[in-house]
Amino acid sequence: MTRKASQTVEKVVEDTKQQIKTMREKFEGAVKYVIDHKKETVKSIRDKKEHVLKTLRNSVIRTIGATYIRNLKVDLVRLEDLRKKMKDLEREWGEKKHYMLKDVNNLASDT
């Protein structure tokens, strides 16, 4: 009976060792999965953050560019308006100068 009990104890010990080994492997696998999942999540968050920052940067650059171009267009329209006004003013002064010279010539020819 001692030999049979000894073999039974050895079998129980071996089964227990095997179950512990299996449980340890499952535990290590679960820990590895959690670590890998965490790494993937962090990488995903980092990628999303980089995408958001890139999108924000591009949006800010586009907005600044559009505002600058809009102001430039306003400035160009204003410059065109001022050019027309100056042209009209030069024409008006030219006509006044012409009439003044004409009056001076008429006065000079009358005397």
Q: What pLDDT is attached to residue 45?
A: 76
Residue 104 tokens read as: 């001076």
Looking at the 3D structure of the chain, how many domains does it have? 1
User: pLDDT tens digit string along 20-66?
Assistant: 888 889 888 888 888 888 878 777 777 777 888 888 888 888 888 77
105 in a structural domain: no
Q: What pLDDT is attached to residue 80?
A: 85
The amino acid that residue 63 corresponds to is T
94 in a structural domain: no
Closest among 2, 21, 24 to 13, alpha carbons compared: 21
106 in a structural domain: no
User: pLDDT tens digit string along 78-103?
Assistant: 888 888 999 999 999 888 888 888 88
33 in a structural domain: yes
The phi and psi torsions of 89 (rounded to 5 degrees) equal -65, -40
- pTM score of the predicted model: 0.38
Give the residue numbers spanning the domain of 28. Answer: 1-79
28 in a structural domain: yes
Higher local confidence (pLDDT), 111 or 86: 86
**Within 10 Å of residue 63's Cβ, how many Cβ atoms?**
10
Nearest-angstrom CA–CA distance, 21 and 17: 6
99 in a structural domain: no
57 in a structural domain: yes
